[in-house]
Structure formats: C-alpha cells, structure tokens
C-alpha cells in the first residue's frame, strides 16, 4: 500500500491535479512499456535496498507499476521516473513494515562481519562490491538510505528526491549529508578491515 | 544550486567501486516480461510463461490449498490486466453476472470528487478513503462463498491501493497460518464493494483460506464457481488440470 502523506512534495514540476494525458490505449501501453523497460530495474533494486527481501522485491516492484498504471493519466510526461521512485520508496516502506524486517539496526556489523573481506581495492569482484555496498547502506538510518539511494545511486536530482520522499529540499539535503558521512565512515571501516586482513595494497 | 554527487567528486577507488556496483544489480531474467504481463501490456506473452512457472512448482505441492496458491500467481497477472484494460471488462462482467452493479462502472469512470495530494509526484487520491482495518479481529465475519458477493451501488468503492492493502493483509494472514484472519480481511474487502481490479485474486485467496480451515466443501464449491466464471482463461485451464491430477493422486 502506498500511503498518503500530508507533506506537500513541494515541486509542482511533476505534480498535476487532473488528468494530464488522457491518451489512447495505444499511448498508454507504449508509455507503460517504455517505463517498464527503462525503469523496472531501478524500481526493483530500490525496493530491495530499502529492506524488501529479494524473494518479494519483484512482487513489490510489480505493485509499484500497478499503481503507476492506475495513475498514468495523471503523471506528467517526463516525470515517470520520479513518480516510480517515489512509489517504490513508499511501497518498500510499507512492505518492510509488513514483513517486520528492519535494516535500521543491522545485525551485520561491518567490523564484525564474517566476510573475509576483499583482497584488494582494485580487485573488488562485482558481487563482492554489491555485498559491501549493502553493508554500508545497512549502517545508514532508513531515512538516510532513502535519500542516498535516490540521489547518489539512482541519480535523481535533489529536488526530485525530496519530492519523492515528501520532504522539503533542505531536509533531503541534510539527510544526504548525514548519509554521505555514514557512507564514508563505512568505506573507511572497510578499508581498515582490508588492511587487517592483509589484502590492502 | 545543483548538488554534486559522490561519483562526480572523484571518490577513492573503493568508494567508486561500491557506488558503481549499484548499477550492476538487476532482477532475474524475465522479471520485466512478467511485470508487463501483470500490467496487461503484453498479456498474450504472459500466460505461457506463468503456466510454465506454475507447472514447475506444481510437482511439489501436496495439498489442494497449496495447489491454488500457485494458481493465484496466474491470477495476479490477469488482475493486473484488468486494471489496464479496465472499464470494458469490468462492465462486461457486471452485465454477465448481474452481481456487479453500477458501483463498478462508477469506479472506472468517475473522477474523484475531492482530490488531494497523495505525496507521490503527479498523483491525486480521493479524500476520506477507507483504510483497511488494522486489526482483523475487529472485522465483521460474513460467510460469503459467492465470488462477487452482494454489491451495492451506494457503497463507497475502495481504491486500488486500499484493495491491495486488504489483499496484502489476507496474504500475510495466510502466510502466518491464520486463515480465519485472512477470511475476515477478504470479507471486509468484499463488504466495501466488488473488487473490479482484484476479484480473481481475492477469490483465490478465499479458496486457499477455506481450504486451510478445513472447509473443503466450500472451497470446492467456490473453486467450481471460479472455473465456471473464467472457463477459458489460461489460469482456469491450468487450475482445472492441476485439481484433476491432484484428485487422482489423492485417490
């Protein structure tokens, strides 16, 4: 379920108060297909990174698109990605609550993780890098992670990210600064871990 | 002022490697096709893929209810198609069954009277939308084995998000081995009005819940009604075959 929020997104650029593109069924389908091919992967990885288990991520991503389909006529052309990201954030939060699965207090402490650690920065395997990124993301608060994912990883503008989160731009910027600090601290811990394991060079 | 991203600021190699690894994440192959099918964008291509998935899993099921859980995923796609294909199908069903009345047409044709911001970019939602009950125990229990239930034109038709939430509660209750709570949630959904978007999935969940409660006669009756209503759908055909094989296996 996507929950409403009393906070005005604050950016009228992608907000419309009525049907913006009535369009034909053909137009709708073309638009849906384009949104799927361009953004489904982003939606999927967003919901997963926001705490939805891998087994449920596809299901939640599909729900995001069902909602998008339902509101398609009201989403301004060019704002599809921002809309989908916003819906993904909210759907993921809801799914996460439902599944009672919290990443805000991760059990995998980076320093104490059983992971043997990368052997060298330059030799990070892709899979290993993804796992390490997960560890760093897990050390952020949920709110920090949301804005970090949207801005740093999904490349939304700060204004779009704030809109997606339903917070003022300044709040988003503040959370982003905090998230970056946590990220950099996490990377530093990883680097120390690598040095301890003897792989750092 | 445009904010700069970490990757724009020449981060150290480790940071860059972590950040770039994000783009390498991808869902399993076929995920986009399945989503397209759910949306009804390429429904023709969806059914065989879903049938294959159901077939592969069917070999391991050992109960009638479990069998229907598999069929449910079929229906998720069909229900998604209904969302997109919308009013024509909903109206056709209403006319053919005589049980889904003006409420359905109102849902698919009438704009919200008093829109309010949903918090999502580009979205308005109706105000005073009913929220799903937070406690299943507070819901009225109504044993209704008809698929459509009694529709009232005067009822407020729940939105798609409300329906999804109600179905989620039912699913969650089933996952928690609480079929009675699942039934209550489905009853509540039905009480609010016929679900033009997810009626097939709701029916499947109800069948599953009834089976889990040991109310096999009701489950069988509802299953038959379901198959009677959707005799030609790929999901129905597959369900029929699975039930037949399961019955033979039990003998």
CB–CB contacts below 8 A, A to B: 191
Task: Tell me the residues of chain B between 89 and 108 that have a Cβ less than 8 Å away from chain A.
Answer: none
Half-sphere exposure of A145 (CA within 13 A, CB side): 26
Q: Is B116 helix (H, G, I), strand (E, B) or coil?
A: strand
- Whole-number pLDDT of residue A23: 57
CA distance A114 to chain B (A): 19
Out of B13, B15, B35, name the one closest to residue A62 (CB).
Answer: B35
Per-residue exposure over A31-40, b if at least 16 CB sit within 10 Å of its own CB, e if not:
bbeebbeebb
Chain B residue numbers touching A86 (CB-CB < 8 A) = 119-121
Q: Which sign, positive or negative, has the C-alpha torsion A35, A40, A42, A48?
A: positive
Out of A44, A157, A166, name the one closest to residue B27 (CB).
Answer: A44
pLDDT in tens, B106-136: 333 333 333 333 445 444 333 333 334 333 3
Q: Which chain A residue lies closest to B169 (C-alpha atoms)?
A: A98
How is residue A62 written in tokens? 């599909």
In this prediction, residue B166 has a pLDDT band, given cuts at 50, 70 and 90, of: confident
Task: Please judge whether B26 and A45 are an interchain contact, meaning their C-beta atoms are less than 8 angstroms apart.
Answer: yes
Local structure of residue B130 (DSSP, 8 states): P
Task: Please judge whether B84 and A82 are an interchain contact, meaning their C-beta atoms are less than 8 angstroms apart.
Answer: no
Local structure of residue A12 (DSSP, 8 states): G
Q: Can you give the pLDDT of all 201 residues of chain A as single tens digits?
A: 333 333 333 333 443 444 444 556 667 888 898 999 999 999 999 999 998 888 888 889 999 999 999 888 888 888 899 999 999 999 988 887 777 544 444 433 333 333 444 444 444 567 788 888 988 999 999 999 999 999 999 999 999 999 999 999 999 999 999 999 999 999 998 888 877 776 544
Out of B28, B115, B122, name the one closest to residue A79 (CB).
Answer: B122
Chain B residue numbers touching A79 (CB-CB < 8 A) = 121-122
Residue % of chain B over a pLDDT of 70: 38
Task: Please judge whether A184 and B13 are an interchain contact, meaning their C-beta atoms are less than 8 angstroms apart.
Answer: no
Q: Nearest 5°: phi and psi at A29?
A: -60, -40
Out of B6, B39, B160, name the one closest to residue A32 (CB).
Answer: B39
Dist CA A83 CA A69 (whole Å)? 11
Query: Regarding predicted confidence, which is higher, A72 or B154?
Result: A72
Chain A residue numbers touching B164 (CB-CB < 8 A) = 1, 63, 66-67
Task: Tell me the residues of chain B between 161 and 220 that have a Cβ less than 8 Å away from chain A.
Answer: 161-162, 164-165, 168, 172
Q: Whole-model pTM above 0.80? A: no
- Whole-number pLDDT of residue B197: 58
Comparing A188-192, B48-52, B72-76, the range with the smallest average pLDDT is B48-52
Closest C-alpha to A14, from A168, A161, A185: A161
Residue B20 CA from chain centroid, whole number: 35
Task: Please judge whether B5 and A152 are an interchain contact, meaning their C-beta atoms are less than 8 angstroms apart.
Answer: yes
């Amino acid at each position: 379920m996507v929950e409403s929020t009393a906070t005005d997104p604050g950016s009228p650029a992608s907000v419309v108060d009525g049907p913006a593109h009535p369009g034909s069924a053909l137009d709708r389908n073309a638009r849906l297909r384009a949104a799927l091919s361009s953004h489904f992967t982003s939606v999927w990885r967003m919901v997963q990174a926001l705490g939805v288990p891998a087994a449920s991520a596809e299901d939640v991503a599909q729900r995001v698109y069902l909602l998008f389909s339902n509101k398609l006529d009201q989403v301004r052309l060019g704002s599809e990605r921002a809309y989908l990201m916003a819906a993904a954030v909210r759907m993921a939060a809801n799914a996460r609550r439902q599944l009672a699965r919290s990443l805000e207090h991760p059990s995998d402490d980076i320093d104490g993780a059983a992971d043997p650690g990368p052997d060298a920065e330059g030799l990070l395997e892709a899979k290993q890098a993804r796992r390490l990124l997960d560890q760093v993301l897990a050390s952020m608060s949920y709110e920090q992670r949301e804005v970090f994912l949207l801005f740093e990883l999904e490349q939304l503008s700060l204004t779009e990210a704030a809109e997606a989160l339903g917070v003022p731009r300044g709040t988003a910027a503040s959370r982003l600064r905090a998230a970056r600090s946590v990220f950099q601290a996490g990377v530093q811990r990883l680097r120390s871990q690598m040095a301890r394991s003897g792989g750092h060079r | 002022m445009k904010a700069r991203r970490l990757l724009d600021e020449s981060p150290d190699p480790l940071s860059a490697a972590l950040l770039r690894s994000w783009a390498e994440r991808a869902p399993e192959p076929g995920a986009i096709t399945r989503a397209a099918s759910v949306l009804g964008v390429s429904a023709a291509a969806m059914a065989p893929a879903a049938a294959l998935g159901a077939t592969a899993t069917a070999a391991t099921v050992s109960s009638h209810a479990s069998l229907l859980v598999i069929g449910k995923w079929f229906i998720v796609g069909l229900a998604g198609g209904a969302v997109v294909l919308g009013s024509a199908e909903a109206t056709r069903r209403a006319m053919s069954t005589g049980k889904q009345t003006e409420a359905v047409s109102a849902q698919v044709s009438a704009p919200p009277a008093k829109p309010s911001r949903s918090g999502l970019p580009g979205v308005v939602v109706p105000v005073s939308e009913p929220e799903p009950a937070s406690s299943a125990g507070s819901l009225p229990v109504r044993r209704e084995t008809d698929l459509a239930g009694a529709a009232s034109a005067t009822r407020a038709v729940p939105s798609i998000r409300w329906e999804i939430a109600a179905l989620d509660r039912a699913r969650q209750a089933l996952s928690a081995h609480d079929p009675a709570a699942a039934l209550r949630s489905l009853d509540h959904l039905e009480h609010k009005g016929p679900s033009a978007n997810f009626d097939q999935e709701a029916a499947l969940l109800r069948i599953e819940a009834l089976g889990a409660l040991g109310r096999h006669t009701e489950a069988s009756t509802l299953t038959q009604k379901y198959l009677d209503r959707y005799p030609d759908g790929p999901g129905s055909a597959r369900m029929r075959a699975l039930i037949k094989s399961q019955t033979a296996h039990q003998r």
